[in-house]
Every structure is written in C-alpha cells, then in structure tokens.
C-alpha cells in the first residue's frame, strides 16, 4: 500500500490537517464507514504512515478484519472510500480558506433560495473585503467580476432597470479580469519561450495590446504593468516604455503579490542589462537601484533563495558604483540565501570583486584564489578578476601563468562559442598590455586602436583596457 495514491496524499498532510481529517472521518455526514475510520487510526494514531513494512495491504487487512482471510477487493474498497472522503476534505479545506470565494458561493446560494435579506447582508460583507483588499491583481479582478455578476443576477429579480444598468459594469469587470489574466499568462509564455527556446502561439495578444492602447487601459496597474512589459520587450529602443513600466510598478508595489513583483523586477533588470551591453553606463546605477529595492523589500528573495548569478551581479554592479558599505552588508546578510553548495565559492568571488574595486588588491587576490566554481562562466569571471588583480599588483609571472592556463581552459567543449571568443580576445589584449611600453605614445595609440576594433568584447572590459593606458 506504500505506493498508493492514498498514502502519497496522506503523507502530504501537516499535523493540523491530520487533526481536521480525523474529525471529518468521524462525522457521519462525510463518512459512514467504520473500516475507513479504523484505517485512519491504524495509519495515523498508530504512527505507521511512514513505516513501509507496516503498511503492506495484507498487514492492514489483518488488523481491520482480524477474523477474515485477506480479500484484495475488499481492501481496495476501503482504500477507495478513504480516498473519496479525504478528497472531499481537501476540497472543503481549500474552499473555506478563501473568504471571498466562500462569500461569492454563498451569494449564489442565497439568490437561488430567494433569501433577499441574507443575500444583501452577505453582499455588504463581500464589498467590505474587496474594498480593503491589498492585492489588486487578476485574482482580485476575478472576484470583483464574480461579485458584480451575482449582484446583477440578483437585481434582475428585484429592480430590472437597475439590473440592465449593472450589466455594463459587469462587462467592464469581465474585460479587466480577462485582460489581466491573458497578459499574465502571455508573459509566462514569453519567459518560457526564452528559456526553453520554443515558439508559442500568443493568439489575440497583439489585438489585446492595441485595444489597451486605444482604450487607455494601461492606467489600471494590473493591466499597465503587463502592457508596458510587452512594449518594452518589443521596442527596446523606445525607452519611454521602460520608464512608464518602472514608475507604474514602483507606485503600486503593495498591490501586487511578491511572486509577481519578482517577475517584473527581473524583466526590468534584464532590460537594464541589455542597455549596459550597448555601453549605456547610466543603466548600471539603474539596475543596481532595482536590485537594492528588490533585496531590501524581499522581492528578489521570494521563495527563500537567491541565485548565484544574481548574487554576483548585485555585488559587481554595486562595487562598480563604489557602494562598498551596502555591498559588504549585502554579502554578509544574504549569503545564507544561496544554495549551500554555492555559498563558499560565491562569497569568496564576491569579496574578491568588492576588494578589487576598493583597490585592496592583495585582499582581492586572496579571495579570488580561494574561489573555485563548477559553473564555467563564474570560473571564467573569477579568472578575469584575477587577471586584472595580478596586473594591478605587477605580478607578471603569475599573470603569464594564468594567461596560459586560461588559454587551455577555453578549449573545453562546455564553454559556449560566444564566451570563448570574448575571453580569447581578453587574453590577447592582456598579452599586448603586459608587453606594452606605456611611455611610447605610438605603442599606446596602436594598443588603443586594437582595443576599439577587437570583437566580440564586453563594454566593461573594453573600457578597462583603455583605462590602463590613459
């Protein structure tokens, strides 16, 4: 029985749910079978649920029916009724957990029973809950629509003229709910499309975006944030969409659930990264401010974890901006949010980056040498900072050895082509820099020309090489 759905579902229950389920099974309204109650007692009260050798069906049958020979069909029947009662409890527990949904169902019931006073009292309570709702998102709009729909149906039996006027409001509520839900689902599809390199049919999305624009519905936060997100992704050169998205989001942070905010923040940050890759240095500050807000308000740590890449990006951006105190506090306060296997190497790399920008190159070297990664790109980033640190310290022998070892490392097949070419070019320029006579203006100009012309190359490294010969 250990591999049955019954055991799998029951093992997902916490202590409170098990106490409630016991009461549920002992109520004749929900269960009239004594063998089902005895099965619960055997599994839960007897603390046998997680002991596989004690939940073989033959063993359980002998306890439930001690005077009978094993009957597989009878045992399966007990399990079936147990499962049905347990599923009924789960449906009930889920329904009563959401007060708004329960009141909407109750409104429908009172209307069907023609209980006018009870319907209106319930509606008053429902309006109060929705008026004080914190999150004004697609879930809110769904309940707002359903509430107005039930009210309209009720009014049609009371005041027909008022009911007809109410229909327009119901239609608008439905539109708002549908648009919010469609946009949220479409953004999920867009994210999945970029990750899994697949293609989705977005249906009427283009028509919806045009409709929102024509009706100026982008002022509704739950619609506007998605509208501006799609526009900023489609028209990256038109920065007004980015700024409108950010302004709308920052003005309405409290109205969105944390999981949705995290998605919006990641999209804003990715937009900044794209601009930074084009050499727009002002977006370093912009992305850092987003990271800072996201961390301080626990948006980017939703789920209790932060990815190693995001951690390093925050440290890198903040250090470049000389936000040393904040970055130091960030490393200390959030390192436990990293996966345990990543913690030591990521923290060492982070401290190496921080001390590099502080110009404490000896300290940076110590941390960087202690940072080893299974992740190829983080390994390359560590070596990149170590290259620069050795150069700043004037350690030519160590620098040459590192260049040689990195050249061999770049031959590894798991390094994607674009990254390989960038780092090959970094090593090529580093060799030229080491051998450069910085007092010879002609050599400096020749080197500067090489830096300007070489591709592919990150803007930050291109700028770094140029700074060394100013």
Q: Where are the domains of the chain?
A: 5-97, 113-235
Residue owning tokens 């009210």: 151
**Residues in Cβ contact with 75 at an 8 Å cutoff, skipping those fewer than 6 apart:** 57, 60, 61
- Report CA dihedral (120, 123, 128, 132) to the nearest 10 degrees: -170
Cα–Cα distance, 388 to 394 (Å, whole number): 10
The helix (H) or strand (E) run that includes residue 449 is: helix 441-453
The vertex-196 CA angle with 381 and 268, nearest 5°, equals 60
> DSSP readout, 62-118?
HHHSTTS---HHHHHHHHHHHHHHHHHHHHHHHHHH-HHHHHHHHHHHHHHTT-HHH
Establish whether the linkage from the previous residue to 215 is cis, with ω within 30° of 0: no
pLDDT in tens, the chain (470 residues): 778 999 999 999 999 999 999 999 999 999 999 999 999 999 998 889 999 888 999 999 999 999 999 999 999 999 999 999 999 999 999 988 889 999 999 999 999 999 999 999 999 999 999 999 999 999 999 999 999 999 999 888 877 777 778 899 999 999 999 999 999 899 889 888 877 778 999 999 999 999 999 999 999 999 999 999 999 988 889 999 999 999 999 999 999 999 889 989 999 999 999 999 888 999 999 999 999 999 999 999 877 889 999 999 999 999 999 999 999 999 999 999 999 999 999 999 999 999 999 999 999 999 999 998 888 999 999 999 999 999 999 999 999 999 999 999 998 767 777 889 999 999 999 999 999 998 899 999 999 999 999 999 999 999 999 999 98
Number of helices followed by number of strands (H, E) in the chain: 23, 0
Closest CA to 13 of 40, 52, 34: 40
pTM of the predicted structure, to 2 decimals: 0.80
Q: What is the pLDDT of residue 413?
A: 67
Of the CA atoms within 13 Å of residue 158, those in its CB half-sphere come to 16
The continuous run of DSSP H or E covering 248 comes out as helix 240-250
Contact 282, 242 (CB under 8 A): no
Taking residue 79's Cβ as centre, other Cβ atoms within 10 Å add up to: 20
pLDDT at position 233, please?
86
Mark residue 305 as left, alpha or beta (left: phi above 0; alpha: psi -120 to 50; beta: remaining).
beta
């Amino acid at each position: 029985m250990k591999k049955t759905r019954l055991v799998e579902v029951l093992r997902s229950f916490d202590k409170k749910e098990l106490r409630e389920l016991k009461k549920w099974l002992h109520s004749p309204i929900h269960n009239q079978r004594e063998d089902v109650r005895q099965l619960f007692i055997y599994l839960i009260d007897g603390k046998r649920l997680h002991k596989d050798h004690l939940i073989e069906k033959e063993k359980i049958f002998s306890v439930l029916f001690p005077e009978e020979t094993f009957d597989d069909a009878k045992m399966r029947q007990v399990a079936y009724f147990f499962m049905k009662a347990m599923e009924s409890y789960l449906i009930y527990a889920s329904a009563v957990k959401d007060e708004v949904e329960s009141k909407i169902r109750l409104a429908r019931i009172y209307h069907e029973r023609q209980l006018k006073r009870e319907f209106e009292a319930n509606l008053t309570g429902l309006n109060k809950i929705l008026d004080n709702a914190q999150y004004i998102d697609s879930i809110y709009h769904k309940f707002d629509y359903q509430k107005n729909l039930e009210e309209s149906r009720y009014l049609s039996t009371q005041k027909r003229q008022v009911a007809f006027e109410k229909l327009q409001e119901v239609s608008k509520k439905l539109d708002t709910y549908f648009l919010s839900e469609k946009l949220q689902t479409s953004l999920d599809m867009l994210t999945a499309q970029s990750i899994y390199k697949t293609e989705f049919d977005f249906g009427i999305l283009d028509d919806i975006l045009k409709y929102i624009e024509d009706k100026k519905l982008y002022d509704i936060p739950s619609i506007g944030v998605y509208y501006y997100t799609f526009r900023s992704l489609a028209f990256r050169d038109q920065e007004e969409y980015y700024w409108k998205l950010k302004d709308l989001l920052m003005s309405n942070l409290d109205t969105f659930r944390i999981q949705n905010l995290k998605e919006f923040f990641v999209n804003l940050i990715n937009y900044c990264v794209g601009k930074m890759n084009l050499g727009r240095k002002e977006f370093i500050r912009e992305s850092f401010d987003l990271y800072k807000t996201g961390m301080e308000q626990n948006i980017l740590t939703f789920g209790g974890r932060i990815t190693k890449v995001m951690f390093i990006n925050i440290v890198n951006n903040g250090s470049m901006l000389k936000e040393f105190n904040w970055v130091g506090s960030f490393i200390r306060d959030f390192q436990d949010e990293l996966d345990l296997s990543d913690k030591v190497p990521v923290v060492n790399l982070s401290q190496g980056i921080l001390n590099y920008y502080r110009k404490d190159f000896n300290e940076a070297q110590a941390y960087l040498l202690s940072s080893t990664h299974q992740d190829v790109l983080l390994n390359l980033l560590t070596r990149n900072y170590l290259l620069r640190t050795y150069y700043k310290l004037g350690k030519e022998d160590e620098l040459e050895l590192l260049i040689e070892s990195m050249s061999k490392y770049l031959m590894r097949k798991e390094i994607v082509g674009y990254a390989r070419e960038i780092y090959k070019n970094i090593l090529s320029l580093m060799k030229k820099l080491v051998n450069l006579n910085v007092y010879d203006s002609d050599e400096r100009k020749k080197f500067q020309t090489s830096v300007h012309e070489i591709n592919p190359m990150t803007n930050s490294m291109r700028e770094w090489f140029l700074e060394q010969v100013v």
